[in-house]
Amino acid sequence: MTVSLRPKTLTPGPSPTRTPARPGEGKLPALRQAVAALALAGWVLLAGCGREEPEGGAGAEPQGPVVVYSSVDDVFARPVAQRFQEETGIEVRLVPDTEETKSTGLLNRLIAEKERPQADVFWSGDPVRAAVLKRRGLSASYRSPAATGLPPRFSDPEGHWTGFSARARVLIYNREKVPEEQAPDSIFDLVEPRFRGQACIANPLFGTTSMHAAALFAALGEQRARQLFEDFTANGGRIVSSNGEVRRRVANGECTVGITDTDDANVARLEGKPVGIVFPDADGIGTLIIPNAAVLIAGAPHPEAGRRFIDFLLAPETEKALAASEAAQMPVRPGLPPPAGLPALAGLKAMEVDYGGLAALLEELSRGFLKEWVDRNSG
Amino acid sequence: MNPLALERPSRWRAFGVAGVFALALLPSFPLLREAASGQRGLGTFPATLWQSFGLATASAALGFAAGLPLGVTAALYSFPGRRALLALASLPLLVPSLLWAVGWSALLARVAPGPLPGAAACVVVFATTAIPLVLLTAWASTAALGAGQVEAARLAGGEAVLVRSACRHAAVPALLAAGLAGVLVLSDPAPGQIFGQRTAAAEILVSFAALFDFGLAARQGLALAALVLVLAAPLAAVAAPRLAAAVLPRAIRPLRPVWHREMAALAAGGLLVFVGIGVAAPLAGLALPALRGTALARAGSEVVETLGNTAIYGLGAGALAAVLGLLLAALAGRSSRLRTAVLALSFLLLALPSALPSLGLLRWSGEVPAALAPVFHSRFTVCVALGLRFLPVATLLALRGWASTSPTWAWAAELHGVSLGRYLARVLAPRLAPAVATGLVLVGLLSAADVGTVLLLHPPGQRSLPLAIFTVMANAPEALVASLCLLYVVGAGALLAALPWLAGRRL
Amino acid sequence: MSAPVCELRAVTKSYGGNLTLMRALRRVSFAVPVGEHTSLLGPSGSGKSTLLRLLAGLEAPDEGEVWMGGALVSAAGRIDLPPHRRGIAMVFQDLALWPNLSVLDNVLLGLSGARLPRIERIDRARQALALCSIEDLADRRPETLSGGQQQRVALARALALEPRLLLLDEPFSGLDLVVKARLIEEVHRLAEERGFTVLLVSHDPLEATPLCRAAVVLQAGEIEEAGPLAALLREPRSELLRAFRDQLGPSGGVR
């Protein structure tokens, strides 16, 4: 049995027992609210005004701020920006990016801002995004004097983006589960029976994995590349959300092998996880090298400061710093020391890639085979 | 203008409602314009949409089934620690679902033998945000019952009858809240990505992030919104007249929760189960890495640097949404049809992917004269985008608040020659204040927790705390990420716990 | 002979759109002479409250005219004299006491349209409270009062305006017999003292008989009968009064 509790309008209730107003009931909440409001207002004023103040540089005159959109991990980009500020006195306003798989990111912001850019420089973690910008007319050509020594094959021939400090796509394996003799040394090993159900890669629609997929299609040709992907899933290989997730799973043994970037692998190593790193296909197609790319934005609000920042980025000191940091990025300039635990770039067999051309191929794949492949293999 | 104008039916009300929603859709306009161009249709989107709809319905159903009894019993019965448990149970509202997904993923990796099916994991994470929304709505709805009615039901058939009747009373608002939660689920890509489940939101994300095809993404967003509208319209039509019944009778005593051993045990137990499974478990998954050494100092400095902006974005968005929501409620007035329209359009607004208005505003900045561009590049714009996104939440609360006022007050004011201003200030404002304030706070919390919109719109250098967390998440040491997440969650929890104290009411 | 305190001439009022047109009042005409307390009787839905709102100037009639004290105040589709200048006060069916305000503040806010200096307003308010014997409740909130006390507050707020015509919309429903009788008696006394006319709307003729000399019976938006209440009761034509008389019967209603 239920009783209807619909409140009846316009009929008086029974005479309630008198509940006299508690003394002072109305006053105390108002006081609390006032205190809270004042505290909040004070905090907002104090904290909201706070900003990274540029430290005086040695003899440099502060100019306008430089706005840098960075899709490089914030943890690595910030120290570089900090050093630039200290050395030149120019304030750096860094705009970070989330992982592509998490939300619509910076590149879309740049594209939408085309008519009125807010960014001066785009610091990309890979050249494909820089090429996308170039295709859409968002970049300006700038050949920095600091670029001496950087191999031209890692840069745009027309100067719209310049490559430096690279990562590489590597195989990682769990040392506790995979003895060294059985460690993979080629991406084709991932489709071997001994790794049945044990391999994982990140979603090839996003990030460096997408670039790797496009590079494979370019290097192997469409048929072989498709076959590789199909064999991968036929062998029980798994798609996970990100490179960081690949690292986590291999580190804790959920998967025993995976493909990820050198900076992810390095983080696992630094945390003391039992992870081994292999630069694949040294006697085959080679290892994909993914340089950072510095792009000057067309129509930038502070182009002079932007150029100075790019000069700073491309300087050997920055390459050295990025190599020494947790980013463990390999300098592309010959002769500079590699990061601890990683080989020098010169010693690697690098995959032959036309970085500029990858962008168009990637778009086609993302609408076609890759999308379809991912859809087939997710829930 | 006199008080009667607030109550008089008029053609202008419909225009006003349309105007407010047109304003809310204005930011998305540039991208919607692109949706019309472009030859590629929708691709595989309809199939994914259907699948996502299934997930959303399952999550909403779970949210309703669990949230309704939990909210009703929490309002009826008192037990020690009730306030703390309610605050903990509301935590998921403040925290992006991404955190829960990551936490679950980490926990399951350590605990479970094999991977969980993606769909089930997604539903669990989604339900974690649906349940609190339904719970709070059911609780508020039950608390609005008068003590007299509750006692009458109790006398009629004991606690079982009372709880059943209260559930029936709170069912419609709870259903609306479950619907809102379902829509929020549809637009959330993160859990699907993490658990490898195809979702409509992820498809839209691909259109943006992999294809940079704004037109395609806008078309997909519109398809999503259209589906939501089709499903939400009947729900709104059912719910709108029910909102009118919130008018209070002549004499009402406020409900006070009572102590009843068995029922209190049930209520407390239910809340504990939800808090344990839905909140504590994923939190443990998040916190585990932090056990091996925290990076609290570094995390702390990030918090201090971004707290001001986070507060500004939250408060600004909350204030804007509260004001607009109140305006919508006043415009809809006593008309059931207008209220239905407002509710249905609110669902539509919530369903549009948040990237559409954000990127649209950036496009606008390029189309307005140079002098106006700084406005579109300011923190104010972030507040506008967030406030418009979560406007439906404030509107729902404002509608209930408006329904708790009586038209006869305006008639009496008119008769006595009370000016409109005085009527608003002395009669309506104190009455509407709780609903408006709650709307401001809820929208503020949801906005402060937002990542997507802030990422796209924040002026360079003015990050918010959630954005800081998510941009370091990718490759920061696990300890740093865990510390940041913990700090965020603890801060949010403290804020929630302080709310009732601030409001000065006994809950 | 002075003009009637209020008069309706062929007033029609409808609600609803094209599909659901509902006629609340159909060519209703009657006049209330000064000092002649009148009751407006009829079953629910007969248009009584609509009529009161038209008299008060809260709505305009679709056709017809409303006159007060010999002046035209409302005509078809327009309101010429706003409510607060008509010299009326009204007690609503749900009392319409403003929440969050104390009893005294309710009466004070009700005087805000009177354009008096603050001190005079407070004086008048306290006087009104004294008239209704509720001075000691001045600082209480209406939600904490009993039904009868709330009634008195509404009455005090109305009387503070010193009206010529007092409209009462089902004011006594839900009150117990003793409280009701006392209130009716007080309204009668106050009307004599302060010199205002009462128009009482009710669905129960028993409330009207102690207070009103005249009656108008409405049925489905039209006047079924009107005239001195005593005469109507002797020979009722309307169903309502016939039922009332039959219920009373020769033994005064006791079985």
Lowest mean pLDDT among A288-297, B56-65, B93-102, C152-161: B93-102
Query: Which residue in the set B416, B430, B431 is minimally distant from C113, CB to CB?
Result: B416
Whether residues B505 and A29 touch (CB distance < 8 A) is answered with yes
Given CB atoms, is B251 within the 8 Å cutoff of chain C?
yes
| Interface contact B427-C109, CB threshold 8 A | yes
Contact B206 A366 (CB under 8 A): yes
Distance in Å, alpha carbon of A283 to nearest chain B alpha carbon: 30
Query: C53 CA to chain A: closest CA distance, Å?
Result: 17
Confidence of residue B291 (pLDDT cuts 50, 70, 90): low
Question: Residues with Cβ < 8 Å from B90, sequence gap 6 or more?
Answer: B132, B135, B136, B496
Q: Residue A198 contacts by C-beta under 8 Å, 6 or more apart in sequence? A: A236, A255, A256, A257
Q: Which of A9, A11, A20 lies closest to C144 in CB terms?
A: A20
Q: Is the pLDDT of residue B473 over 80?
A: no
A 323-352 residues inside an 8 A Cβ radius of B: 326
Q: What value does the mean pLDDT take over residues B348-353?
A: 86
Where does the pLDDT of residue A67 fall: very low under 50, low under 70, confident under 90, or very high at 90 and above? very high
What local confidence, expressed as pLDDT, does residue A5 receive? 52
Say if residue B122's pLDDT is above 60. Answer: yes
Mean pLDDT of B129-134: 88
ipTM, 2 decimals? 0.91
Q: Which helix (H) or strand (E) holds C228?
A: strand C222-228
- Between B60 and B142, the more confident residue is B60
Q: Percent of chain B, pLDDT > 70?
A: 89
Q: Name the closest residue on chain C to residue B254, using Cα atoms.
A: C143
3-state secondary structure of C64: strand
Answer whether C73 touches B (CB < 8 Å). no
CA distance B20 to B395: 12
Closest CA relative to residue B208, chosen from B219, B194, B197, B195: B219
Nearest to A96 among B370, B463, B501 (CB): B463
List the single best residue of C81, C112, C116 to mutate versus B (max B Cβ within 10 A).
C112
| Measured distance between the N- and C-terminal CA atoms of chain C, rounded to whole angstroms | 46
Of B1, B409, B416, which to mutate for an interface test with C (greatest number of C Cβ within 10 Å)? B416
Check if the beta carbon of residue A310 is closer than 8 Å to that of residue A150.
no
d(CA A261, CA A72): 13
DSSP symbol at A266 = H
If you measure CA to CA, which chain A residue comes closest to B299?
A75
Residue B293 has pLDDT above 60, yes or no: no
* Chain B residues close to C56, C-beta within 8 Å: 411, 415
Beta-ladder partners of C22: C15
Give the pLDDT confidence of B250-284 residue by residue, as tens digits: 445 566 788 888 888 888 899 999 988 888 888 88
The CA-atom distances, in angstroms, between B24 and each of A41, B35, B325 are 28, 18, 11
d(CA B390, CA B325): 10
Interface B:C, Cβ pairs < 8 A:
81
State residue A98 phi and psi, 5-degree precision.
-90, 170
Neighbour-count burial of C70, counting CB atoms closer than 10 A to its CB (0-12 exposed, 13-18 middle, 19+ buried):
exposed
User: Hunting for tokens 């929501």 — which residue is that?
Assistant: B325
Best B50, B193, B405 residue to mutate vs chain A (most A CBs within 10 Å): B193
Least confident span in A217-226, B171-180, C10-19, C214-223: C10-19
State the nearest Cα–Cα gap between A16 and chain C, in angstroms: 7
* Conformational region of residue A159, where left means phi above 0, alpha means psi within -120 to 50, and beta covers everything else: left
- pLDDT for position A61: 47
Mean pLDDT across B288-292:
64
User: What are the chain B neighbours of A97 within 8 Å (beta carbons)?
Assistant: 455, 471
In tens, the pLDDT along B76-86 reads 888 888 888 88
pLDDT for position A57 = 40
Q: Is the CB of residue B2 less than 8 Å away from at least one CB of chain C?
A: yes
pLDDT tens digits for range A308-362: 999 999 999 999 998 888 778 899 988 888 888 888 888 888 888 888 888 889 8
The residues on A that touch C, with CB distances below 8 Å, are 9-12, 15-16, 18-21
Q: Are A153 and A351 in contact (CB under 8 A)?
A: no
Domains of chain B as residue ranges with CATH: 22-247+258-503 (1.10.3720.10)
Q: At residue B323, does pLDDT exceed 80?
A: yes
DSSP secondary structure letter of residue A280: -
User: Does the CB of C161 have a partner CB in chain B at under 8 Å?
Assistant: yes
Give the C-alpha distances (Å, rounded to integers) separating A46 from A41, A43, A50, B308, B463.
9, 5, 7, 8, 16
Which chain A positions have a beta carbon within 8 Å of B311's beta carbon?
40, 43-44, 47-48
Grade residue A124 by pLDDT with cuts at 50, 70 and 90: very high
- Gap between the Cα atoms of A113 and B381, Å rounded: 14
The verdict on A14 touching B (C-beta cutoff 8 Å) is: yes
- Give the DSSP per-residue string, A129-177: HHHHHHHTT-EE----GGGTTS-GGGS-TTSSEEEEEEEEEEEEEETTT
The string of DSSP letters for C185-216 reads HHHHHHHHHHT-EEEEEES-HHHHTTT-SEEE
Q: Could you report how far apart the first and last alpha carbons of chain A are, in Å? A: 44
> Collapsing DSSP states into helix, strand and coil, what is residue C69?
coil
Which positions 105-164 of B are in contact with C (Cβ < 8 Å)? none
Tell me the HSE value of B64 on the side-chain side, using a 13 A CA sphere.
21
Q: Look at B278 and C248; give whichever has higher pLDDT.
A: B278
The pLDDT of C38-66, averaged and rounded, is 88
pLDDT for the residue numbered A23: 40
Stretch among A39-43, A325-329, C116-120 having the lowest mean pLDDT: A39-43
Q: Where is C9: in which H helix or E strand?
A: strand C6-15
Give yes or no for residue B413 having a pLDDT over 60. yes
Contact C173 A19 (CB under 8 A): no
pLDDT on residue A131: 92
- Euclidean distance between CA atoms C219 and C44, whole angstroms: 9
**What is the pLDDT, as a whole number, of residue B17?**
95
Chain C: closest CA distance from residue A25 (Å) = 13
Higher pLDDT, A47 or A197: A197
Q: Does the structure show a pLDDT above 70 at C19?
A: no
Q: Tell me, what's the pLDDT at A290?
A: 93
By a Cβ cutoff of 8 Å, what residues of chain C touch chain A? 93-94, 140-141, 144-148, 150, 173-174
Which chains neighbour B (Cβ–Cβ under 8 Å, 3 or more pairs)? A, C
| Domains delineated in chain A | 66-166+289-346 (3.40.190.10), 167-288+364-376 (3.40.190.10)
Question: pLDDT grade, residue A26 (50/70/90)?
Answer: very low
For residue A222, what is the enclosing H or E element? helix A222-234
- Chain C residues in contact with B5 by the CB 8 A cut-off are none
Q: Is C56 on the interface with B (CB under 8 A)?
A: yes
Quick one: pLDDT at residue A159? 92
* Contact (CB<8Å) C174/A20: no
Average pLDDT score over chain B: 83
Indicate the residue of B250, B414, B426 with minimum beta-carbon distance to C94: B250
Contact across the interface for C145 and A21, Cβ inside 8 Å: no
Tokens standing for residue B355: 């990237």
A257 has pLDDT over 70: yes
What is the percentage of chain A residues whose pLDDT exceeds 70? 82
- B 258-297 near A (Cβ less than 8 A): none
Among C91, C92, C98, the strongest candidate for a mutation testing the B interface, having the largest count of B CBs within 10 A, is C98
Interface of B with A in 362-381 (CB under 8 A): 362-363, 365-367, 370, 373, 377
Q: Is the pLDDT of residue A55 over 50?
A: no
Which of B256, B362, B409, B483 has the highest number of chain A CBs within 10 A, making it the mutation to test binding with A? Answer: B362
Q: How far apart are CA B485 and CA B295, in angstroms?
A: 11
Asked if A102 and B210 come within 8 Å (Cβ–Cβ), the reply is: no
Closest Cβ opposite residue B146 in set A13, A40, A105: A13
pLDDT(C73) > 80:
yes
pLDDT for B430-470, tens place per residue?
888 878 887 888 788 889 888 889 989 999 989 998 888 77
The neighbouring-strand residues paired with C90 are: C167
Report, as an integer, the average pLDDT of B154-173: 86
- Mean pLDDT over residues A25-50, rounded? 56
Within A228-288, strands assigned E span 238-240, 257-261, 275-278
Q: What is the β-pairing status of strands A139-140 and A289-297?
A: antiparallel
In this complex, which of C140, C144, C174 lies closest to A12 when CB atoms are compared? C174
For B253, nearest residue in chain C (alpha carbons): C143
The pLDDT of A230-249, averaged and rounded, is 88
**pLDDT at res. B501:** 61
Each residue's pLDDT tens digit, A71-96:
887 778 889 999 999 999 999 999 98
Residue A20 has pLDDT above 50, yes or no: no
When mean pLDDT is compared over A99-103, A139-143, B400-404, the highest value belongs to: A139-143
pLDDT at B233: 85
Distance CA B259, CA A148 (A): 79
pLDDT tens readout for residues C33-49: 998 999 998 887 778 88
Name the nearest CA neighbour of C13 among C61, C79, C67, C66.
C61
| Secondary structure of residue B149 in the 3-state scheme | helix
In a mutational test of the C interface, the residue from B336, B411, B414, B415 whose CB has the highest number of chain C CBs within 10 Å is B415
Q: Measure in Å the smallest separation between the Cα of C148 and chain A Cα atoms.
A: 9
What pLDDT sits at residue B115? 63
pLDDT category, A117, cuts 50, 70, 90? very high
Give the mean model confidence (pLDDT) for residues B343-352.
Answer: 87
**Chain C residues near residue A20 by CB distance under 8 angstroms:** 140, 144
Assign A14 a pLDDT band (cuts: 50, 70, 90).
Answer: very low
